[in-house]
Chain A
Amino acid sequence: MTLGKVMEVLEGEVALNTGDMETEILSVCSSDLMSDLLHFSSKPKSLLITGLNNTQVVRTAEIADIKAVVFVLDKRPDRETVEMARQKGITLIVTRLSRFTACGRLYAEGLVSCTGENR
């Protein structure tokens, strides 16, 4: 599904739009631990759902080739984080939903997990 549709499903708000709402998203990573995003070989066209909203998230997303980050429970990224995301071309979305509900809804839409051991 497109990033735009993800936004709709998660009742999200854009914190930083890098102009690619038509980007196709195929898989979802959900983690607050940065090393875990780097540990498994992730699939392309991934979205990250997290409750951690510091600059490290954007840094790690860049290294892991993740194109968009969703912050849950209305955790807004600070200016520094937004600026870094702008430089790296990573879209930032904020949703009031919890990580559980966000995962639940996207799972129901047919998205798969972006990481996993032995895959």
Chain B
Amino acid sequence: MADKNIEGSFHLTGGDFTNAGAASSELKSIMTKLNISPHLARRAAIATFEAEMNVIIHAVAGVMYYMITPDCIKVVLNDMGPGIPDIQQAMREGYSTAPDWIREMGWGAGMGLPNMKKNSDEFRIDSVVGEGTTVEIIIKIKEDKTP
């Protein structure tokens, strides 16, 4: 598999809580099959899962695109949704625009974006109010020395 890039994409539907997380779960399986270290796969899965949930909770629809190279795992999520007016504010732990019914489902505590950033080696976010948001998550695959 040495020089091959593995890539693919998933479609996400806003409000589809039944399948929420399925894409991230699938990506985690793919990483495991590629023998990526569990520690890195976990970080990637967490960041991706949070990003996926944001699309499901806030947007109308989105696409998750992933690319795994020998050097890194890259996931880009592009959504059609309300967008984020103040990204800095949104990145603050605890800041949330989720309605109450989302909180009752166990989400909406305002930890999603901080969780994404925390688990990424590189994290970019862009948004246009009224159009949507794009997040880019990159996790570098180093020589893994964990036993």
Contacts and interface: CB of A to CB of B under 8 A. Distances in A.
Interface stretch (A12-20, A53-61, A107-115): A53-61
A39 to B, nearest CB: 5
Contacts of A64: 42, 46
A63 B28 contact: yes
Interface residues of A, number: 20
A59 B20 contact: yes
A24 interface: no
A36 interface: yes
A32 interface: yes
Contacts of A65: 38, 42
B112 A60 contact: no
A35 B111 contact: yes
A34 to B, nearest CB: 5
A80 B22 CA distance: 14
Interface string B98-118: 000000011101111011001
Contact of A63 (B18, B49, B107): B49
Given A32-B106, A34-B107, A52-B106, A59 B115 contact: no
Interface residues of B, number: 25
Nearest to A65: B42
Interface string A62-100: 111100000000000000100000001000000000000
Of B105, B106, B107, B109, chain A has the most CB atoms within 10 Å of the CB of B106
Nearest to B47: A38
Nearest to B44: A63
B20 A39 contact: no
B78 interface: no
Interface in B64-110: 105-107, 109-110
A74 to B, nearest CB: 19
A56 B107 contact: yes
A33 interface: yes
A59 B21 contact: yes
A35 B112 contact: yes
Interface of B: 17-18, 20-22, 24-25, 28, 38, 42, 45-46, 49-50, 53, 105-107, 109-112, 114-115, 118
